[in-house]
């Protein structure tokens, strides 16, 4: 049984980078926790977090609630960017 915090991290509406987290974890597991072999995955995760953090801060400054767009909203944002 997962803790509330763990469930929140797995929730696509609150965590926009679940896929990147999973890919990084899989890479680490597959490569005996050799970080050097998973650099690309760490970079993708970092870029994901940075991108969505900026979106969240823009929304917060504009008074938009919720600050983190839902999974469906994020999909539309990404599609509009090409």
Q: How far apart are CA 23 and CA 20, in angstroms?
A: 5
Question: What value does the mean pLDDT take over residues 7-32?
Answer: 92
Ordered by start, the domain boundaries in the chain are 4-81
| Main-chain phi, psi angles of 66, to 5 degrees | -70, 160
Question: Higher model confidence: residue 46 or residue 10?
Answer: 46
Identify whether the C-beta of residue 20 lies closer than 8 Å to the C-beta of residue 48: yes
Taking residues 14-24, what's their average pLDDT? 94
Quick one: which of 56, 46, 40, 57 has its CA closest to 17?
46
The pTM of the full predicted model, rounded to 2 decimals, is 0.84
pLDDT of residue 5: 83
Q: Which of 48, 66, 67, 70 is closest to 57 using CA atoms?
A: 67
Question: pLDDT tens for residues 21-70?
Answer: 999 999 999 999 999 999 999 999 999 999 999 999 999 999 999 999 99
């Amino acid at each position: 049984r997962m803790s509330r915090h763990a469930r929140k991290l797995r929730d696509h509406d609150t965590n926009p980078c679940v896929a990147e987290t999973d890919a990084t974890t899989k890479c680490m597991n597959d490569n005996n926790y050799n970080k050097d072999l998973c650099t690309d995955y760490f970079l993708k995760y970092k870029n994901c977090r940075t991108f969505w953090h900026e979106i969240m801060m823009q929304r917060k400054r504009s008074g938009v609630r919720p600050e983190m767009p839902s999974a469906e909203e994020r999909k539309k944002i990404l599609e509009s960017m090409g």
